[in-house]
Structure 1
Amino acid sequence: MLSKKSQYAFKALGYLTEKYNEGPILISEIAKKKKIPLKFLENILLELKKADILDSKKGKGGGYFLKKSPEKTKVATIIRLVNGPISMLPCVSLYFYERCKNCNEKHCGLHDMMIEVRDATLNIVENRTLKDLVDY
């Protein structure tokens, strides 16, 4: 399940995608238009900036903007960054793998099924970008 933080991140990124060619956007504008608490949004955007998804400009005409074109940022990248693993079980995660306690992965039907779920999900989110989140 996507956390509230992830949902806010996607709302903000969707707004920045819509405004991609308009230059930096004030954080207060994003918060107001997308109904995101300002303090929460500040933390999210800072995290996305540290991860090289966003950049910012200070001073007059400043704000946040996408560092790359919306077509170049995959939905999966944002999910992993803000939400964590895409897989539903840690034993099938590609980037956040952890062995399940008291489980034999070689003979676990749940493990095998969740690999299929993970792969189907990845097929979608690895092939969608921020551009796919907005209607022009």
Structure 2
Amino acid sequence: MLTNKGKYGLKAMLFLARQPDGATAAGQDIAVANGIPKKFLDAILLELRNAGMVRTRKGPGGGYALAKPLGEIRVGHIIRVLDGPLAPINCASKSAYVPCADCRDVEGCSVRITMTKVRDAMSDILDRMSLKDMIVFAEHPDSDFMYQI
């Protein structure tokens, strides 16, 4: 499940994605426009900056901006940076696998197998979708856009 941290991170990135080329946005403006607590947003933006997705500029006219073009920033990467693995349960994770303590048959566990398929489907969509795609999809929600990614 997407946490508030992940959701706020996506909202902040989309806010930055909609800024004119070369423009920066103040953290306070991002927070107010998206209903994000400012202190929480600062921590989120720091993680995104450390991951190379956001850059900062200090001084007059300073603020936050995307560090890469819209089409190069993948939604799956944003979510993983902020929320960790996409798998709905640890035993279905590729990068953070932990078997369930009560599992008697890891290989044949129907829950793990099903959640692995869920993880793969989510990963397939989120790793192919860029910030640019999110904006286009929001403008045309009734289209078959998701199937064109």
Q: Could you state the TM-score of these two structures normalised by the residue count of structure 2?
A: 0.85
Distance across 1 between alignment mates of 2:113 and 2:17: 37
Residues 64-115 of structure 1: per-residue CA shift (max 9 Å, x gap): 0110011101111011111112011111111111122132211211111111
Q: Describe the shift of the 1:53–1:47 C-alpha distance in structure 2 as closer, same or farther (beyond 3 A).
A: same
Distance across 2 between alignment mates of 1:20 and 1:128: 21
For 2:122, give the aligned amino acid. Answer: T
For 2:79, give the aligned amino acid. Answer: I
For 1:132, give the aligned amino acid. Answer: D
Q: Aligned ranges for residues 11-50 of structure 1 at < 5 Å?
A: 11-50=11-50
Determine the structure 1 residue equivalent to 2:52. 52
Q: Aligned ranges for residues 1-136 of structure 1 at < 5 Å?
A: 1-103=1-103, 104-135=105-136
Distance across 2 between alignment mates of 1:17 and 1:79: 16
Q: Which moved more, 1:70-79 or 1:99-108?
A: 99-108
Distance across 1 between alignment mates of 2:29 and 2:115: 40
Distance across 2 between alignment mates of 1:130 and 1:20: 15
CA RMSD of aligned residues (A): 1.4
Q: CA deviation at 1:24?
A: 1.4
Distance across 1 between alignment mates of 2:58 and 2:90: 40
Higher relative contact order (CA 8 A, sep 6+): 1
Q: CA deviation at 1:134?
A: 2.0
Sequence identity (%): 36
Distance across 1 between alignment mates of 2:43 and 2:102: 38
Determine helix, strand or coil for the equivalent of 2:56: strand
Q: CA deviation at 1:117?
A: 1.0
Q: Could you state the TM-score of these two structures normalised by the residue count of structure 1?
A: 0.93
For 1:69, give the aligned amino acid. Answer: P
Q: CA deviation at 1:37?
A: 1.2
Distance across 1 between alignment mates of 2:37 and 2:22: 23
